[in-house]
Amino acid sequence: MSRTFRAADLCLIAGGYAALAVGLWFAGSAVGSPILQFIGFMAGASTFVPLPADAYVLSVADDYPALTIGLVGGAVNAAAVLVEREWVMRLVSHPVFTRFQEFVGTNRYVGWAENHLFVGLVVGGFSFLPFEPFRLVAILRNYSPVRYAFATFVGRGVRYYCYARVGRLFAVYGLAKWVVWASLALFAVGLVRSYFRFQSTGSSGQGVNELEQRLGGDE
């Protein structure tokens, strides 16, 4: 990694990006432009921040053609992952992540993911297969930014195009709002389950011990 850890840089990147995303959303709301709101929301949802992007796409599917939503959503995702890449690369350059970087460099599963990274990013981007692990490997293994952004654009663009088509179909039958609320409910349930799972793992120390054993076993 060629980046240097500086807390001020992390705050500046995160703060500037968050301000841009929120500003775009409010600007869209002020001028009555759903596409600006869409860009602002997707800018935040395209990072590791857990926002219900799919439900939002369903909710705006009737505002613009599905192709526009797919192209814009894919482009915003591609830009967002590059900003996120800079932030994460600076974060993991801190000495506390040295052992973790050694693990990433020697683990056979990470090596497999790296060898199939473009396909993994595209497939994970449009399907329900895990997308985040491939994103993390792309960042930590310094994968080509151009290929990373393009794979994200293709994968996420196809996903949002399909969701927009489905959203328009639901809107025809007056089911769109119910589908959106159901998606949000499932999203909320997933967040709550993840929180309690993290709490139980963290309190018992089991997760830390597990990670240490894996790190030691794969070195």
> In residues, how long is the chain?
219
Mean pLDDT of 82-98: 87
Q: Which of 37, 26, 19, 23 is nearest to 73 (CA)?
A: 37
Residues 3-18 have pLDDT tens digits of 677 888 889 998 999 9
Cβ atoms 155, 53 nearer than 8 A: no
For the stretch 156-186, pLDDT in tens is 999 999 999 988 887 666 666 666 666 667 6
> Concatenated DSSP letters for 87-133?
HHHHHTTSGGGHHHHHHHHH-HHHHHHHHTHHHHHHHHHHSSS--HH
Give the tens place of pLDDT for each residue, 134-164.
888 888 888 899 999 999 999 999 999 999 9
